[in-house]
Amino acid sequence: MMNDRLPATSGRSQRGFTLLEVLVAFVILAFSLAIIYQTAGGSVRGTIKGDRQTYGLTLAESVLDNYRGVPEGGMVRSGELENGYRWRFEASPRPVPEDERNRNRFPLYDVRVEVNWDSGAGVTLSSVLPERTQ
Protein backbone atom coordinates (compact mmCIF):
# COMPACT_ATOMS: atom_id res chain seq x y z
CA MET A 1 0.00 0.00 0.00
CA MET A 2 2.81 2.30 0.67
CA ASN A 3 4.01 1.92 -2.88
CA ASP A 4 0.82 3.56 -4.21
CA ARG A 5 1.99 6.92 -3.00
CA LEU A 6 3.65 9.40 -5.31
CA PRO A 7 7.33 9.76 -4.77
CA ALA A 8 8.34 12.74 -2.64
CA THR A 9 10.00 15.49 -4.64
CA SER A 10 12.26 18.18 -3.43
CA GLY A 11 11.51 21.90 -4.07
CA ARG A 12 14.33 22.13 -6.52
CA SER A 13 12.96 19.63 -8.97
CA GLN A 14 9.53 21.37 -9.23
CA ARG A 15 8.95 23.56 -12.23
CA GLY A 16 7.22 27.00 -12.23
CA PHE A 17 7.53 30.35 -10.49
CA THR A 18 7.25 31.19 -6.85
CA LEU A 19 4.63 33.62 -5.61
CA LEU A 20 7.32 36.22 -4.95
CA GLU A 21 8.60 36.01 -8.52
CA VAL A 22 5.09 36.46 -9.91
CA LEU A 23 4.47 39.48 -7.66
CA VAL A 24 7.76 41.10 -8.72
CA ALA A 25 6.83 40.52 -12.38
CA PHE A 26 3.42 42.18 -11.84
CA VAL A 27 5.02 45.19 -10.14
CA ILE A 28 7.47 45.65 -13.02
CA LEU A 29 4.61 45.32 -15.51
CA ALA A 30 2.50 47.87 -13.59
CA PHE A 31 5.34 50.43 -13.54
CA SER A 32 6.02 49.88 -17.23
CA LEU A 33 2.37 50.38 -18.14
CA ALA A 34 2.16 53.52 -15.98
CA ILE A 35 5.16 55.04 -17.78
CA ILE A 36 3.70 54.18 -21.19
CA TYR A 37 0.33 55.68 -20.17
CA GLN A 38 1.94 58.93 -18.97
CA THR A 39 4.04 59.20 -22.12
CA ALA A 40 1.07 58.63 -24.41
CA GLY A 41 -1.10 61.01 -22.38
CA GLY A 42 1.59 63.69 -22.49
CA SER A 43 1.84 63.32 -26.25
CA VAL A 44 -1.91 63.75 -26.66
CA ARG A 45 -1.94 66.81 -24.38
CA GLY A 46 0.99 68.30 -26.29
CA THR A 47 -0.76 67.73 -29.61
CA ILE A 48 -3.97 69.36 -28.36
CA LYS A 49 -2.01 72.34 -27.02
CA GLY A 50 -0.19 72.70 -30.33
CA ASP A 51 -3.45 72.54 -32.29
CA ARG A 52 -5.02 75.26 -30.10
CA GLN A 53 -1.98 77.48 -30.44
CA THR A 54 -1.88 77.02 -34.22
CA TYR A 55 -5.58 77.87 -34.50
CA GLY A 56 -5.09 80.95 -32.27
CA LEU A 57 -2.15 82.15 -34.36
CA THR A 58 -4.10 81.64 -37.58
CA LEU A 59 -7.01 83.61 -36.12
CA ALA A 60 -4.67 86.45 -35.07
CA GLU A 61 -3.16 86.57 -38.57
CA SER A 62 -6.65 86.64 -40.08
CA VAL A 63 -7.77 89.51 -37.83
CA LEU A 64 -4.61 91.47 -38.65
CA ASP A 65 -5.11 90.83 -42.37
CA ASN A 66 -8.64 92.32 -42.22
CA TYR A 67 -7.19 95.78 -41.54
CA ARG A 68 -5.02 97.29 -44.28
CA GLY A 69 -5.00 100.69 -42.65
CA VAL A 70 -6.09 102.34 -39.43
CA PRO A 71 -8.53 105.25 -39.15
CA GLU A 72 -7.14 108.54 -37.84
CA GLY A 73 -6.62 108.40 -34.08
CA GLY A 74 -6.42 104.59 -33.89
CA MET A 75 -9.06 102.03 -32.96
CA VAL A 76 -9.96 99.09 -30.74
CA ARG A 77 -12.05 96.12 -31.87
CA SER A 78 -12.76 92.79 -30.23
CA GLY A 79 -14.82 89.68 -30.79
CA GLU A 80 -15.49 86.15 -29.63
CA LEU A 81 -16.01 82.94 -31.57
CA GLU A 82 -18.39 80.14 -30.60
CA ASN A 83 -15.50 77.78 -29.88
CA GLY A 84 -14.26 79.93 -26.98
CA TYR A 85 -11.58 81.95 -28.78
CA ARG A 86 -11.54 85.70 -28.04
CA TRP A 87 -9.63 88.29 -30.05
CA ARG A 88 -8.73 91.94 -29.54
CA PHE A 89 -7.31 94.35 -32.14
CA GLU A 90 -5.78 97.57 -30.85
CA ALA A 91 -4.09 100.29 -32.91
CA SER A 92 -2.52 103.37 -31.36
CA PRO A 93 -0.50 106.19 -32.95
CA ARG A 94 3.17 105.40 -33.22
CA PRO A 95 5.39 107.96 -31.49
CA VAL A 96 7.16 110.20 -33.99
CA PRO A 97 10.64 111.57 -33.26
CA GLU A 98 10.72 115.36 -32.84
CA ASP A 99 12.83 115.94 -35.95
CA GLU A 100 10.33 114.06 -38.21
CA ARG A 101 7.07 115.70 -37.06
CA ASN A 102 6.89 118.37 -39.76
CA ARG A 103 7.69 116.09 -42.70
CA ASN A 104 4.96 115.08 -45.11
CA ARG A 105 4.47 111.37 -44.51
CA PHE A 106 1.85 108.78 -43.66
CA PRO A 107 1.14 108.50 -39.94
CA LEU A 108 1.91 105.03 -38.61
CA TYR A 109 0.15 103.01 -35.92
CA ASP A 110 1.41 100.31 -33.58
CA VAL A 111 -0.97 97.39 -33.91
CA ARG A 112 -1.44 94.57 -31.45
CA VAL A 113 -3.69 91.53 -31.95
CA GLU A 114 -4.30 89.25 -28.97
CA VAL A 115 -6.11 85.93 -29.14
CA ASN A 116 -7.00 83.98 -25.98
CA TRP A 117 -8.92 80.78 -25.43
CA ASP A 118 -10.60 78.89 -22.61
CA SER A 119 -7.49 77.40 -21.06
CA GLY A 120 -6.13 80.90 -20.37
CA ALA A 121 -3.42 80.56 -22.99
CA GLY A 122 -3.04 82.95 -25.88
CA VAL A 123 -0.95 84.43 -28.66
CA THR A 124 -0.08 88.02 -29.51
CA LEU A 125 0.98 89.54 -32.82
CA SER A 126 2.43 93.03 -33.18
CA SER A 127 2.82 95.03 -36.35
CA VAL A 128 2.82 98.54 -37.80
CA LEU A 129 0.11 99.80 -40.17
CA PRO A 130 -0.33 103.12 -41.98
CA GLU A 131 -3.22 105.48 -41.48
CA ARG A 132 -6.08 104.71 -43.84
CA THR A 133 -6.45 107.16 -46.69
CA GLN A 134 -9.95 108.30 -47.70
Question: Residue 116's pLDDT is what?
Answer: 95
| Per-residue pLDDT reduced to its tens digit, 67-87 | 888 998 899 999 999 889 999
Closest CA to 67 of 44, 85, 83, 89: 89
Kindly give the parts of the chain with pLDDT less than 70: 1-14, 101-104, 134
Indicate the helix (H) or strand (E) that contains 124.
Answer: strand 122-130
Strands 108-116 and 75-80: unpaired
* pTM for the structure as a whole: 0.65
All structural domains of the chain, each given as residue ranges with its CATH number in brackets, are 17-130 (3.30.1300)
Q: Which amino acid is at 40?
A: A
